[in-house]
Structure 1
Amino acid sequence: MLQRGLALVALMASLVMSSFAHADVDWGHFKARFLMADGRIIDTGNHNVSHTEGQGFGMLFAVAGNDRGSFDKMWTWTNTHLKNPKNGLFYWRYNPVAPDPVEDKNDATDGDALIAWALLKAGEKWGDPAYFKASDAITNALIKHTVIDFAGQKVMLPGASGFNLNSYVNLNPSYFIFPAWRAFAKRSHLAVWTQLINDGQSLLKKMDLGEAKLPTDWVSLYADGHTEPAKQWPARMSYDAIRIPVYIGWDQPDSALLMPWRTWFGRFDRLHTPAWVNVNDNQQAPYNMQGGLLAVRDLTMGTLTSMETKVTSQDDYYSASLKLLSAMAAQGM
C-alpha cells in the first residue's frame, strides 16, 4: 500500500514538473513590485522592511530569470548593509526608518542559506568564481556558528544566538532547506550537510504534532529527543511552516514526508483550506488560503499550474515569494 502511494506521489510530481517545462518563473512582475533601485527587496506585508529571507529569495529568482544585473545589485546591497564582520553571517532584518536599521544583530539561518545557495547557483549559471568563493564563505560560517549536535541529532539552529536553551533547543523546521543543503553537500563534499539532511528528515517525522499531525512554525527539541510546539510562539502550522512541503518536494518530489501535508490539505475543498491550524486545540484560521499559500497547497497536492504562480496586484511580498518558490520547486530548478 505504501509503495502504491509513493508511486502515485512520484507520478503526480512528474506530471506537475512536465507542465512547467516551458513556463518561466514570474521574476519580471516580482522585480517590478518588490525590488528597489538600490537592490533591496521590500516586504510589503511588513511595513516595507527588508530581511535576508527576502534578499535570498530575490537572488534565487533573479538567477532563475537569468537577470545578472539585478542579482548583482541585490548581492551588493546585502553584502554592504547586512554582513556581520564578526562571524561572516548576515543581520536578519533591516528597517530603513529606524535609528539603527539593523538593531537586532542576530542572523536567520534560512536567509543565510538562501543567499549562499543563490550565490552557488549564480556561479554555476554565469561562471564567475567570485560567487563560489562568497557562497563557500557563508556555508563555512553557518557550520561554524549555527550547527550543533543535540539529542543525538545534527541540527542547524535558527540563528547564531538565542536558540540553544541547554535542556532544549528551539528550531524552525521551515529553515530546513533541503535542496540548498544538498547543493552545499555536492559542492563541498562535507559530511555535515548530508547529516543535516538525514537528521532533519528524521526530526520532521517526529514533528507530527496534534490532530493535524504537522510541524508548527517553531518546535522545541528536548535533550531526551522528544519534540513539542515551542512555548514562545503560537502552536500553529502557519506562515513559516507552510514552506516545509516546498523544500521537501523540491529536494525529493516522491518523499513520504509529504503525505501528512497531503492528508491535511485533502480534508478541505481547495478554496476552503484554512490558512493555519493550532495543533494544541485544533483551532483553525477564520480565513482561507489564497495566493501563495494556495500555490504551495497545489504544489503539494500535485495540481499546480502556471496560472497559480503568476504574481498579481493582490499579492504582497510573501504571497508572491511563495508562488515563485513553488514554481521553482515544481521545475526542480
Structure 2
Amino acid sequence: MAMLRTGLILLALVLGISQASAADGWSSFKARFMTSEGRIQDTGNKNVSHTEGQGYGMLMAVYYNDRSSFDSLWNWTQKNLSNPNNGLFYWKYIPGASDPVSDRNNASDGDMLIAWALLKAGEKWNVPAYLQASDRLQKAIIERNVITFAGRTIMLPGAQGFNKTSYVVLNPSYFIFPAWRDFARRSHLKVWNSLINDSLSLLSEMRFGDSGLPLDWVAMNADGSMAPATAWPPRFSYDAIRIPLYLYWYDSASLQLVPFQQFWMNFQRLQTPAWIDVLSNSKAPYNMAGGLLAVRDLTLDDSGHLSDSLSGNEDYFSASLQLLAWLAYKDR
C-alpha cells in the first residue's frame, strides 16, 4: 500500500507539473496584460483596451480551462463596452479619459471573437447563458456588419464608415473562418457559410504585386474589383498577418495558404521581414520576432518552433499572436 501511495503521489506531482507547464503561457499573459478587473491592456498602444483583446483573452481562458478569468473578462466587457442601441460592443476603451468610449463604432472582429469565445465557453462548461449571449451577438453582427455587395456576402470592419456606396473598405484579417464555421454549426444560418465561401474567393482576388499577398486594408469596388484602400499604406503587415492564422485554424491544408508560404520561404526564418509594401516591394527594416514569427512557423508547418512560452519582452499583440498560433496548432 505504501508503494501504491508513493506511486500515486508521484503521478499527481507529474500531472501537476504538466498542467502548470501547460498553463505557463496563459499565466504569463494574464500577469502581464490583464488587470484585476478583467481588462486586457494593449501595452504597445498606451494600455488602451479593445474588443479584439477581450475576445482573445476570453478564447485563451476557455482553452486553458480558466473559467474565473473568463468571467472577469466577460463581466468587464459587458460593463464597459456594451452598446445598448445595437447589441454590439464599442471597440475601444481609453483608460483615464473623460469619456473612455468616445468612439461609438464597433469592430466586427472583436465582436466575432467575443461571440466565438462565448460559444466555446458555453459548450465546454455547459453554461446556457453564455450560449444565449453568443447567439444574440451573432444576430447583431449579421444585422449591422454583414451586407451583400457586388454579388458577394461580406463582413464590414465596423457598422459605420466602411460602406462608401460606390465601394466598401474591407479588412481581410477580420475574415475569422473558424468562428464562422462554428457559428454556422450552432445557428444553421446560411449567411455564415456564404461568408466563408465568398471571403475565400475574395482572398484569391486580393493578391497584389510581385509577392501576391493581400493588404491590411482593401477597397472593393461596385464591379467587384479590388484595389489598395487609400487611407492606409499598401502593406501586408500587422493586420494581414492574421489572415494565414485564421486560414490555418480553419483548414491547415488550405490552398489559400500557398501565397504566404511561397513568400516566406524566400527568407531564412530569422531574416524574414516583418512587413512588405506589396506595390513597391520595399520591406520592413527589421525582421519578424515573437508572435509574427509564430504565425510564419504555423503557416509553414514548422511546428518545432511553436510554443506557448512567452519571452519577457513581448508586447500584447506579439504575445497574443503567439498564443493564438499555439491554439490554432493544437486545434487542427
| TM-score where L is the length of structure 1 | 0.92
Q: How does 1:243-282 map to 2 (within 5 A)?
A: 243-282=242-281
Q: Which runs of 4+ in 1 moved over 2 A?
A: 22-25, 304-309
1:294 is matched by which residue type in structure 2?
L
CA contact (8 A) 2:146 2:153 kept: yes
1:29 is matched by which residue type in structure 2?
S
The separation in 2 between residues aligned to 1:205 and 1:25, in whole angstroms, is 38
After superposition, give the CA deviation of every residue in 1:295-333 in whole Å (9 maximum; x if it has no partner). Answer: 000000100236543112111000000001100110117
Over 3 Å counting, the alpha-carbon distance change for 1:61 and 1:92 in structure 2 is same
Equivalent residue number for residue 204 of structure 1: 203
Deviation at 1:78, TM superposition (A): 0.2
> More displaced, 22-31 or 210-219?
22-31
Task: State, as a whole percentage, how many aligned pairs show the same letter.
Answer: 59
Deviation at 1:195, TM superposition (A): 0.1
Deviation at 1:23, TM superposition (A): 5.6
Equivalent residue number for residue 150 of structure 2: 151
The separation in 2 between residues aligned to 1:152 and 1:280, in whole angstroms, is 27
Q: How does 1:55-134 map to 2 (within 5 A)?
A: 55-134=54-133
Q: How does 1:134-149 map to 2 (within 5 A)?
A: 134-149=133-148
Over 3 Å counting, the alpha-carbon distance change for 1:59 and 1:176 in structure 2 is same
CA contact (8 A) 1:299 1:330 kept: yes
After superposition, give the CA deviation of every residue in 1:255-307 in whole Å (9 maximum; x if it has no partner). Answer: 00000000010011100100000111111000000010000000001002365
The separation in 2 between residues aligned to 1:300 and 1:154, in whole angstroms, is 26
After superposition, give the CA deviation of every residue in 1:42-89 in whole Å (9 maximum; x if it has no partner). Answer: 000000000000000000000011000000000000011001000000
The separation in 2 between residues aligned to 1:98 and 1:210, in whole angstroms, is 42
Deviation at 1:176, TM superposition (A): 0.2
The separation in 1 between residues aligned to 2:102 and 2:310, in whole angstroms, is 32
Equivalent residue number for residue 218 of structure 2: 219
The separation in 1 between residues aligned to 2:276 and 2:23, in whole angstroms, is 32
The separation in 1 between residues aligned to 2:87 and 2:263, in whole angstroms, is 39
Over 3 Å counting, the alpha-carbon distance change for 1:67 and 1:299 in structure 2 is same
Equivalent residue number for residue 162 of structure 2: 163
Deviation at 1:24, TM superposition (A): 5.7
> More displaced, 300-309 or 127-136?
300-309
Equivalent residue number for residue 285 of structure 2: 286
The separation in 2 between residues aligned to 1:215 and 1:325, in whole angstroms, is 21
After superposition, give the CA deviation of every residue in 1:12-63 in whole Å (9 maximum; x if it has no partner). Answer: xxxxxxxxxx966721111111110011000000000000000000000000
Residue 305 of structure 1 aligns to a residue in which SS? Answer: helix
Over 3 Å counting, the alpha-carbon distance change for 1:221 and 1:271 in structure 2 is same
Residue 69 of structure 2 aligns to a residue in which SS? Answer: helix
Equivalent residue number for residue 46 of structure 1: 45
After superposition, give the CA deviation of every residue in 1:113-135 in whole Å (9 maximum; x if it has no partner). Answer: 00000000000110010000000
Over 3 Å counting, the alpha-carbon distance change for 1:307 and 1:194 in structure 2 is closer
Deviation at 1:210, TM superposition (A): 1.1
Over 3 Å counting, the alpha-carbon distance change for 1:25 and 1:163 in structure 2 is farther
1:147 is matched by which residue type in structure 2?
V
CA contact (8 A) 1:291 1:308 kept: no
Residue 76 of structure 2 aligns to a residue in which SS? Answer: helix
The separation in 1 between residues aligned to 2:124 and 2:320, in whole angstroms, is 21
1:250 is matched by which residue type in structure 2?
W
Over 3 Å counting, the alpha-carbon distance change for 1:306 and 1:120 in structure 2 is farther
Gaps of at least 5 residues in structure 2 are: 1-20
The separation in 1 between residues aligned to 2:118 and 2:67, in whole angstroms, is 11
